Structure 1
Amino acid sequence: MTSRLLTLSLCAGMLAVPAYAQDADKRLVSPAEENAAELEVVVYGRLSSERAVKVPQSVEVISNKALQDSRSETVGDAIRLVPGASRDGSVFDVFGDSYLVRGFPANQTVNGMTSNALRQARDTVSIERVEVLKGPASVLYGQLQPGAVINVVTKQPRREFASELTVEGARFNDWRATADVTGPLTAGGALRFRVTGAVDSADSQIDFWHRNHFVIAPTVVADLGDRTTLAVEALFMRNELDGFLNGLPAEGTVLANPNGRLSPSLGLTDPTFDPSIRENTEVTVRLEHRFNETLRARLGASWTHELTDEDGVFGLLGWDNPYRTLTRAVLSSRSKGDAVTAYGDIAAQFQTGSVRHELMFGADHTAFDRDNLSEVGLAPSLDLYAPQYEFNQKPDTFPLPDFGSRSAERNRDTGVFVQDRLVLTDTLRLVGGVRWSQFRQETSTVQGTGGIVEDSQDQTAWTSQLGVLYSPSDRVNLFANRTTSFLPVSGITAEGLSLDPETGVQYEIGTRTSFYGNRVVLTGALFHLKRGDVAVSDRDNPSALISIGEQVSEGVEISVSATPVTGLRLYGGYALVDAKTTEDTNDALVGKRMRNVPRHSLVLRGSYQFQSNAARGLTLGAIGTYTGERAGDLEDSFELPDYWRVDLNADYPLTETVSVGASIENALDQRYYTHAYSLFEVWPGAPRTWKVNIRARF
């Protein structure tokens, strides 16, 4: 600890050297967020951007400033800033950014293109902003979940040299360092680069829990003439986790237990279990060409490689001695997979009579192969109120051969789409699109009993998009849309069979209205969203899937952002979501609330940057999020309590290039639970946590 403090002090001393000659324009992060009404997003056009206020579908943008103010280290951390959205995961498993938006899962895209899933949380160090397009978006992006498209816009190289270094320390021996360096490789910047990266090491309040994290993301962009640009982006990320927490029993956390409340430091894993590891390598190549001012095209390809080596311990199999001693299961998983995507799109602007068009046509193809070996066993039961762990050697486990499997999965996805954005008059716009998709899947499974099950499916589907935007004035925009989705299920049943694809459809009406020269922007929407052929984890065999029926989510969302005076930024958002199961293979579940979806959620954000005197440049901020009561499992058999989380932050520039910051997360030290899957899988939230950092820009 002493050596780390010394290192931090030395870094601070070196970085704090005044550099007043530095041009403020070279800073990598703008000191203020952009105006909410003027933000442009690519998530709705893939190849071309559109002002958020002119998109006939609910969209929210989390700027880089908001990412920094909220101290969001992953995309999942940032999603809590969006009303009606939540992370369906935990900082204590960290391997996946799973989200729920309007009650349903959401998918991630990168720079307006379909992204192969990383199966671990994407670090924000390389992210410029996050765009959340609510509802299905399969026309442009193919086979996705219906909740939303969460588009990550990565930081791009600049033509002038600039750099940013940050060192951060936090409670629980949490240390993180980030770097962001960009500049020209040739005179004038026709060839330029950017490299971002982060490394951190952290403990937590959970016994024997420790994380090592590393990510690096280099990008090179070349101008091949005045009209052609070639971009090559790469990413390598590795997470190593000791003490993987797969949740705790409901009895003792959110439900009463005759033995009392479980300790907030309780972990189920002995420190002698091997750490769980996930690695991802991602390479993307994009070639963009502008034929003229009205015609442009893009070709691209991406490759993603995943590698997992995990030993997870969980109590899903139930009590050994009810409400005190928990049976522990061990899931060992070794997998590797590769996904290759090729895509092309072309966009043309033209006019037919008085109607202006922006027509986009494109196609994409993805080949995905994964091999997985899973073994399930039993570890010695654990007394949760007087736990005895093995500190010298890994405890003996007892295999359960009926549950393990070796599987191979081969998926091939092909799509062709067209979208037209029409400006009929100065006040009326239409958007229409359609996609044809084909999905082919082959699976081969060797079950623990030695039996081999092979299965294949070949599915095709049409998805559509229709939106209308009516703007009776420059400040008032009314919209309505109908969008659909199609999602093949990547996984198999316990019998080794594939499942029918999931489908989704959304109806939405809403408004965006601005006041006082866009200083205040009000957004509201009503929505009805249906998801069919829902696939979930099989409770009798957690490594397999089952299809349960149909779910419906409907509700209202309201948000307002304001900049009433220079330096003051305010945001408030509220979502009412009524999400229920409407069809199920189990009639008793019809009408039950959907898991982990609060009926009420609220987001409040505010920051003020002092403009004069000795406090000039000091920024104070606060974030408050309210999450209402939620069903803890598919059966709605228990409830997660509501909670407030309040975060405070402050930043102050010591010089033109060096600043310091501090934050307190969960300032009220609420004992809360982020999500749950079953009576034995309830995830605790982190307690009050302080962070301090020093940042230098050159």
Structure 2
Amino acid sequence: MIQSSNSDTVGDALRFVPGASRDGSTLDAFGDTYLIRGFLANQTINGIAVSTMRQPRDSIGIERIEVLKGPASVLYGQLQPGAVVNVVTKQPKREWAGSASVSYGRYDDFRGTVDLTGPVTKGGALRFRVTGAYDDADSFIDYWHRRHVFVAPVLAVDAGDATTVTLEGMYSRNRLNGFFNGLPAEGTVLPNPNGRFARALTLTDPTFRPSIRDDSDITARVEHAFSDRIRWRTALSWMHEYRDEEGVLGLLGWADDTQRTLSRAVLASVSSGNTWTAHTDLGVGFETGPFSHDLVAGGEYTWFDRHTTGATSLAPDLDLFAPTHQMTARPTTTLIPSRSTTNDESTRTAGLFAQDRVALTDQIKLIAGVRWSDYRQTVVSTRGRAAALTRDQSQTAWTTQFGLLYTPTPSISLFANRTTSFLPVQGIRASGEALKPETGTQYEVGAKAVLLGGAFALNGSLFHLKRGDVAVADRVSPGFLVAIGEQVAKGFELSATGRPIDGLTLYAGYAYMDAKTTEDNDAALIGKRIRNTPEHSVVLRGDYDVRTGPLVGVSFGGSATYTGDRAADIENSFSLPSYWRIDAQIGYAVTRNVKLGASLENLTDERYYSNAYSLFEVWPGAPRTWRVNLTTKF
């Protein structure tokens, strides 16, 4: 589905997951983040957790995306309930293969990719793979421009018949001009006496400095099979994040009562962070009497450090209905000394875990797991001219997982599970205080059926998720966090996949969700819906490859996604309206190795809004866009 839908990032592909909704945009400072089942989707790369604030992972380096909605905290580390989005990267092959593509679209959107793999030594005992992408694009937003570079080399070697060593790297840079942090609600989703804002409106000026986002990864993995039933895996990874950003925000509100002129603030920040993660586990298969076991046990250690400096300044007011932008010189700004900050965060987490999958009978399987986590955090923060504050906190937690799988027939599966979670928070309050780790509990029951020899598959599940000490963005003090006492999300999901005839694939999904704040020190928040989470969402997708007749080589694809109305902030002071987005694709295989394609996104030119944070941060969705592409394999 990644290729057929022309998805360039993980976030692009997640729009086809029932119950997923945007909580961030590639146009803003907060990354291409998604909520699944009302909570921020946990992200892992080949099973190693990564920050949700990292840049969207480029699809050219992705083999597949696994959305794991059941229990995951035991094996995947300190994660919150909802879902784990695990990205499995492309690995080297023993035979030579390669592909390259170029595409061009509306708003001068150019993209080029390359994917090359093959043996370094005869037989492929030593093999490599390199994937890369380059993007250069404008946007429907005035003065917004993005230049993106991505490269991911992988080297694998067979150190004997049963051992594989893999060294994998990644570098990604985004250079953003015209940093975009949303628009006021009055003039987008709420009435404004002056009318509706122009679709291309931006709060920034092109003379503000570009924002730079760099991510780098290096991971070493070793896998060894002692026998068919005993295997060992270990991994060591280093991840580096660098941000140098300057963005204009409208959080200071209207400059007058006419809702025409906006007071602007400029938030500038520089941050650099490093994460070291060591993970090891041993898997053993064995029997105890009539029961068959698949036991996995191991541990991990994570060391995270980040240094951040930030400053907030006042910028000249802007008339949003007749904007005059500074085109030659940077606007004069006035520093707010009390908003200058310096923060140093240091977090150490250690964990030990064990999970046993027990086959009680051929039809009944039991899953049980336990995890011990130890968490220590030190935060040193300075705000304005005040003296530095040092905060230390530590906590130890046990989390558990229980699941039951019953297969009355080979084509029908029934399951139930319960899991708890524990998540240390990266980030601090505006006061300089650290936040407590988030805790969670998830219950789920469901069924899966495979029909007509695999031609159709049906899935359904009921879920109830609870999360405590929830960290959310502080919209009064951007760059900081606040905590909500408790949130609960409950609902159900249905999905169906079918291949009724040769070449045709159909997919449909629906999710219902009741997600609200249930406890908080602020009584006004109790009963409020979780921000950016629709009650109803629908996904429809179809792809057809013509394999016979005069149109052989032609392929068609299309999708329709429905996102229901959503609360736009934690106070539920306003809502984002529901919308349908319809996309279409067509392709033609010129030869066995050359393919032409074209796509239309937002076919009906729906004026929709993807997400929001506050009354002055509403993100519009893109209007109708098109793209043509050429792909060759070699």
User: What is aligned with 1:89?
Assistant: 24
Q: How far 1:110 moved relative to its partner? A: 1.4
Check conservation: 2:345, 2:380, Cα contact below 8 A: yes
Check conservation: 2:475, 2:613, Cα contact below 8 A: no
Kindly indicate whether residue 501 of structure 2 is the aligned counterpart of residue 565 of structure 1.
yes
Check conservation: 1:108, 1:150, Cα contact below 8 A: yes
Q: Quote the Cα distance in structure 2 between the aligned partners of 1:114 and 1:412.
A: 14
2:109 is aligned, of 174, 177, 198, to: 174
User: What is aligned with 2:443?
Assistant: 507
Q: Quote the Cα distance in structure 2 between the aligned partners of 1:680 and 1:136.
A: 37
1:472 is aligned, of 389, 394, 408, to: 408
Kindly indicate whether residue 378 of structure 2 is the aligned counterpart of residue 448 of structure 1.
no
Specify the code of the residue in structure 1 equivalent to 2:185. A
Check conservation: 2:22, 2:532, Cα contact below 8 A: no
**Once the two structures are superposed, what CA deviation does each residue of 1:436-489 show, in whole Å capped at 9, x if it has no partner?**
001110010111123211101011111111110000000110000001111112
2:434 is aligned, of 495, 498, 501, to: 498
Q: Quote the Cα distance in structure 2 between the aligned partners of 1:543 and 1:608.
A: 46
Q: How far 1:95 moved relative to its partner? A: 5.8
Q: How far 1:501 moved relative to its partner? A: 1.1
- Identity percentage of aligned residues: 56
Q: Quote the Cα distance in structure 2 between the aligned partners of 1:545 and 1:336.
A: 18
Q: Quote the Cα distance in structure 2 between the aligned partners of 1:514 and 1:227.
A: 35
Query: What TM-score comes out, normalization by structure 2 length?
Result: 0.99
Specify the code of the residue in structure 1 equivalent to 2:106. R
User: What is aligned with 1:103?
Assistant: 38
Q: How far 1:495 moved relative to its partner? A: 1.7
Kindly indicate whether residue 144 of structure 2 is the aligned counterpart of residue 204 of structure 1.
no
User: What is aligned with 1:616?
Assistant: 552
User: What is aligned with 1:38?
Assistant: none
Specify the code of the residue in structure 1 equivalent to 2:275. A
User: What is aligned with 1:28?
Assistant: none
User: What is aligned with 1:42?
Assistant: none
2:246 is aligned, of 311, 324, 345, to: 311
Kindly indicate whether residue 312 of structure 2 is the aligned counterpart of residue 376 of structure 1.
yes
Specify the code of the residue in structure 2 equivalent to 1:521. A
User: What is aligned with 2:67?
Assistant: 132
**Once the two structures are superposed, what CA deviation does each residue of 1:558-612 show, in whole Å capped at 9, x if it has no partner?**
0000001111100000000000111112111211111110000000000111111
Check conservation: 2:70, 2:417, Cα contact below 8 A: no
User: What is aligned with 2:358?
Assistant: 422
Kindly indicate whether residue 164 of structure 2 is the aligned counterpart of residue 236 of structure 1.
no
Q: Quote the Cα distance in structure 2 between the aligned partners of 1:656 and 1:499.
A: 56
| Aligned pairs (5 A) from 1:304-453 | 304-322=239-257, 323-453=259-389
Q: How far 1:503 moved relative to its partner? A: 0.7
User: What is aligned with 2:6?
Assistant: 71
User: What is aligned with 1:227?
Assistant: 162
Specify the code of the residue in structure 2 equivalent to 1:433. G
Over 3 Å counting, the alpha-carbon distance change for 1:575 and 1:117 in structure 2 is closer
User: What is aligned with 2:511?
Assistant: 575
Q: How far 1:639 moved relative to its partner? A: 0.6
1:275 is aligned, of 180, 185, 210, to: 210
Structure 1 stretch displaced more, 544-553 or 474-483: 544-553
| Aligned pairs (5 A) from 1:173-192 | 173-192=108-127
Q: Quote the Cα distance in structure 1 between the aligned partners of 2:29 and 2:324.
A: 26
1:674 is aligned, of 587, 610, 621, to: 610
| Aligned pairs (5 A) from 1:596-611 | 596-611=532-547
Q: Quote the Cα distance in structure 2 between the aligned partners of 1:116 and 1:202.
A: 26
Kindly indicate whether residue 543 of structure 2 is the aligned counterpart of residue 635 of structure 1.
no
Q: How far 1:116 moved relative to its partner? A: 5.1
Q: Quote the Cα distance in structure 2 between the aligned partners of 1:557 and 1:99.
A: 17
Q: Quote the Cα distance in structure 2 between the aligned partners of 1:638 and 1:587.
A: 18
User: What is aligned with 1:299?
Assistant: 234
**Once the two structures are superposed, what CA deviation does each residue of 1:261-307 show, in whole Å capped at 9, x if it has no partner?**
00000011100000110101100000110001110001210001111
Check conservation: 2:71, 2:417, Cα contact below 8 A: no
**Once the two structures are superposed, what CA deviation does each residue of 1:524-567 show, in whole Å capped at 9, x if it has no partner?**
00001011111222333223222221111000100000001111
Check conservation: 1:116, 1:339, Cα contact below 8 A: no
Q: How far 1:104 moved relative to its partner? A: 0.6
Kindly indicate whether residue 394 of structure 2 is the aligned counterpart of residue 458 of structure 1.
yes
User: What is aligned with 2:77?
Assistant: 142
Specify the code of the residue in structure 2 equivalent to 1:666. N
Aligned length: 633
Q: Quote the Cα distance in structure 2 between the aligned partners of 1:90 and 1:388.
A: 25
Specify the code of the residue in structure 2 equivalent to 1:275. P
Over 3 Å counting, the alpha-carbon distance change for 1:625 and 1:508 in structure 2 is same
User: What is aligned with 1:689?
Assistant: 625
**Once the two structures are superposed, what CA deviation does each residue of 1:490-531 show, in whole Å capped at 9, x if it has no partner?**
122222111111111111100001110011100000001011
Question: Where does structure 1 differ by over 4 angstroms across 4 or more consecutive aligned residues?
Answer: none
Check conservation: 2:33, 2:52, Cα contact below 8 A: no
Check conservation: 1:476, 1:511, Cα contact below 8 A: yes
Check conservation: 2:21, 2:534, Cα contact below 8 A: no
User: What is aligned with 2:585?
Assistant: 649
**Once the two structures are superposed, what CA deviation does each residue of 1:359-405 show, in whole Å capped at 9, x if it has no partner?**
00010001111000000111101000010111111111111111120
Structure 1 stretch displaced more, 144-153 or 266-275: 144-153
Q: How far 1:117 moved relative to its partner? A: 5.2
Check conservation: 1:136, 1:144, Cα contact below 8 A: no
Q: Quote the Cα distance in structure 2 between the aligned partners of 1:188 and 1:507.
A: 48
User: What is aligned with 1:484?
Assistant: 420
What is the DSSP-based 3-state SS (H/G/I as helix, E as strand, rest coil) of the residue aligned with 2:338? Answer: coil
| Structure 1, unaligned runs of 5 or more | 1-65
Q: Quote the Cα distance in structure 2 between the aligned partners of 1:92 and 1:537.
A: 17
User: What is aligned with 1:540?
Assistant: 476
Q: CA RMSD in A?
A: 1.1
Check conservation: 2:80, 2:467, Cα contact below 8 A: no
**Once the two structures are superposed, what CA deviation does each residue of 1:140-189 show, in whole Å capped at 9, x if it has no partner?**
11111322110001111110101100000000000000000000000000
1:121 is aligned, of 56, 64, 87, to: 56
Check conservation: 2:553, 2:590, Cα contact below 8 A: no
Check conservation: 2:100, 2:631, Cα contact below 8 A: yes
